[in-house]
Structure 1
Amino acid sequence: MEVESTQSLPQSNNELHRSKRLTKISLVILNFIIMVIGTTGSPLILRLYFLKGGKRIWLSSWLQTGGWPLILIPLFVSYMKSRDKKLPLMSPSLFISCAFIGILTGLDDWLYAYGISYLPVSTSSILISTQLAFTALFAFLLVRQRFTPYSVNAVVLLVIGAAMLGINSSGDKPEGESKEKYYLGFFMTIGAAVLYGLVLPLVELSQMKYEKVQVPVCYTLVLEMQLVMGFFGTAFSTVGMIVNKDFTAIHREARDFELGEARYYIVLVGSAIMYQCFFLGTVGAIFYGSALLAGVIMTVLIPVTEVLAVVFFSEPFSSGKGVALALSLWGFVSYFYGEIKGKKARETVNGTS
């Protein structure tokens, strides 16, 4: 009987390991799908709001984090399945860090909403992709991100692509919009890219500090982090909405919306859901990889957003955008080629040691 129990122990461990691995793969796939939906759909629906008569910058900023209560659903399910009696898992120091990051996210949302209100989706998407360069810089400073010639090449290509957009942007200005507003939107979007490039490494740094003093970070904690960041980001935008009297203007704006009042509210709710997918997917990408990986995934989804913007909004796709897009894709391929090559080299070293 004792022999049988000792023989069954390795088998039980293998089954447990296999179960955990399948769960992790499932979460990675689900997280990637959520990020694809949020990253490609959120700028389109927000641009639709402005194209059809929406004008409230603080409201559109609020919508980017206002869907945070949706996180309560998967978080509740995760709590029910958890065997850990210590819930929530978040420590006071991590809570403070997430609250600060949430406020920064609220400011970033305002900059981004201001930018996209004056820019075509195709232009704003490529501009926001420059966050990868800033993510790389802040990741190096904050979390000691290692760089290879391939990752450096990716960052340089993305910066050049954004610079080309700035040089050739005169023909991209939407009809009826002043040049001053166009360039204001241009630089606001760049500002949003800089700030979000700081936010991503800060999230990774918070996770790393938690792991040093607590237990390893799990996906339940990722949900808690997103919940806190979403709440404080929304609180920041709520103050802006109150000062700007956006709450009292919603009914009037809905009545004048080109698609009708009912569709106005559908656009608002849809925007909140899409952006929640984006933020949850991004935090998950940092959890399963790194801040730089999250930035790269966001960048590679730009072509999808570009095509959708041309299809749904009939936006022009100039040669300058084409070159910038090609540089972005080249940078993405360069990054992942370097990652694959580095992984093979590490496996070879580990195999020979």
Structure 2
Amino acid sequence: MAHAQEIQLQIRGIPNDESIHDVGRDGPKSAALWSTRGSFRWWMTVVMDMFMVICGATVATLLGRLYYNSGGNSKWMATLTQSVGAPLLVVPLLMAPAHSAVEPRPAASKMWAIYAGIGVLIGFDNLMYSYALQYLPVSTFSLVAATQLGFNAITSRLLNAQRFTALIFNSVVLLTFSAAMLGVGSSDDDTSSSLPRGKYATGFVLVLAASAAFALILSLVEATFEKVIRARTLRWVLTVQMYTNLVASVVSVVGLLASGDWRTIPGEMASFKDGRVRYVLTLVGAAVTWQATAVGAVRLIARVSSLFANVTFTLALPAVPVFAVVLFGDKMTGIKAVALLMAVWGFLSYIYQHYIDGRRAGKTDCRVCATRAGSDVMLPG
């Protein structure tokens, strides 16, 4: 079977997995995509991207909490760290393979409009997350942020023609109830004394709004790859990530200057716990880990779907609250424990749905490739 598929690809001249061209979610993507999807190499790449997202999201969230707990107070500075690491992507971008001659090249004006629109959304989404992270214990923040998976199910259905199955519906319900339980139990949350009093409800609403915006951003990025770029190379992944985050950084810098927060930065550095060096290292570490998270997420969007990328974010849920309890003294209440279990249950529903879809697609593609390989190779005469 593998040999027949290889001959078929050579005859038809279809590009390899790193230059995949789409014709829509429900139509055939390309023989190259389907012949490698589910292979050992494909899964190794996906697992690496998942590892980047999980580790990056966990460390970046904890560093954001550390910034506030150690004396940081500028929400615009915390927002800026989530996108300011974009110039670091220039190095891997220079090393990435060049665009192939067969790749479609969308109009530059259209791409700049997309970069600007998505970048502005990212900037304000980062700001809402920064406020929410200051107002909520990190364990609560992480669990409420799981609602982005439910929001993503809706945006994926509307923008990316994602099927809304019973398993996905089950996940949406579970994650919604998980977040609702945390809201009901807010009065009993007597964790980290450094958190602003009376801001729990505000933080709860902000993280819900940020989760909805984040889900929309992921679906818009997937739609960009699907309908505009129509190529899924590493160079395009890095390009989209870099330019959208540069726009988000401009939004953050404008906010930092307009709000006057820039005047407080020297004082923050001087009063930061353990000194200026730790202040700089905390912000730099957050900037680097956020970029690693974002690159892994965009690669998963391009290679699989925005829904799968969002599922991967939920894998950080069990890790963040545990580390938050150890590092920041957050209290893992009974309500949080039940909410965590419900969130994990919802995550497993998504994974199982993806597993079912993958098996069905693999069986269908094997039959199609076998038929086409036989007709292409066994030519008369």
TM exceeds 0.5?
A: yes
Query: How many residues end up aligned between the 2 structures?
Result: 339
The 8 Å contact of residues 121 and 248 in structure 2, kept in 1 or not, is answered as yes
Identical pairs, percent: 32
**Code of the aligned partner of 1:102:** G
Q: In the alignment, what sits opposite 1:167?
A: 184
Q: In the alignment, what sits opposite 1:265?
A: 280
Secondary structure of 1:168's counterpart equals helix
**Code of the aligned partner of 1:301:** A
1:195-231 CA deviation, whole Å, 9 max, x = no partner? 11111101111111124xxx52212101000011110
Secondary structure of 2:258's counterpart equals helix
Q: In the alignment, what sits opposite 1:200?
A: 218
Q: In the alignment, what sits opposite 1:190?
A: 208
How far is the alpha carbon of 1:257 from its aligned partner? 0.5
Which one of the candidate residues 69, 80, 84 is aligned to 1:62? 80
The 8 Å contact of residues 300 and 328 in structure 1, kept in 2 or not, is answered as no
**Code of the aligned partner of 1:164:** M
Q: In the alignment, what sits opposite 2:49?
A: 31
How far is the alpha carbon of 1:176 from its aligned partner? 5.9
For residues 82-97 of structure 1, the aligned pairs below 5 Å read: 82=98, 84=100, 91-92=107-108, 93-97=110-114
Q: Determine if the alignment matches structure 1 residue 75 to structure 2 residue 93.
A: yes
Structure 1 residue ranges without an equivalent (≥5): 1-8
The 8 Å contact of residues 153 and 331 in structure 1, kept in 2 or not, is answered as yes
Q: In the alignment, what sits opposite 2:30?
A: none
Q: Distance in 2 between matches of 1:237 and 1:351?
A: 49
Secondary structure of 2:198's counterpart equals helix
Secondary structure of 1:232's counterpart equals helix
Q: In the alignment, what sits opposite 2:373?
A: none
1:251-278 CA deviation, whole Å, 9 max, x = no partner? 2110000121111111111111111111
Q: Distance in 2 between matches of 1:90 and 1:280?
A: 21
Q: Distance in 1 between matches of 2:138 and 2:106?
A: 37
Q: Distance in 2 between matches of 1:281 and 1:178?
A: 33
Q: Residues 72 and 348 of structure 1: is their aligned pair in 2 closer, same or farther, counting only changes over 3 Å? A: closer
Q: Distance in 2 between matches of 1:43 and 1:83?
A: 35
**Code of the aligned partner of 2:80:** W
Scaled by the length of structure 2, the TM-score of the pair is 0.82
Q: Distance in 2 between matches of 1:286 and 1:50?
A: 31
Secondary structure of 2:168's counterpart equals helix
How far is the alpha carbon of 1:88 from its aligned partner? 12
Moved more, 24-33 or 249-258: 24-33
For residues 1-353 of structure 1, the aligned pairs below 5 Å read: 27-78=45-96, 81-82=97-98, 84=100, 91-92=107-108, 93-173=110-190, 174-175=192-193, 177=195, 179-211=197-229, 216-348=231-363
Q: Residues 155 and 257 of structure 1: is their aligned pair in 2 closer, same or farther, counting only changes over 3 Å? A: same
The 8 Å contact of residues 123 and 252 in structure 2, kept in 1 or not, is answered as yes
Scaled by the length of structure 1, the TM-score of the pair is 0.88
Q: Distance in 1 between matches of 2:117 and 2:8?
A: 46
Q: Distance in 1 between matches of 2:252 and 2:155?
A: 25
Q: Distance in 1 between matches of 2:197 and 2:277?
A: 33
**Code of the aligned partner of 2:117:** F
Secondary structure of 2:135's counterpart equals coil
Q: Distance in 1 between matches of 2:93 and 2:344?
A: 35
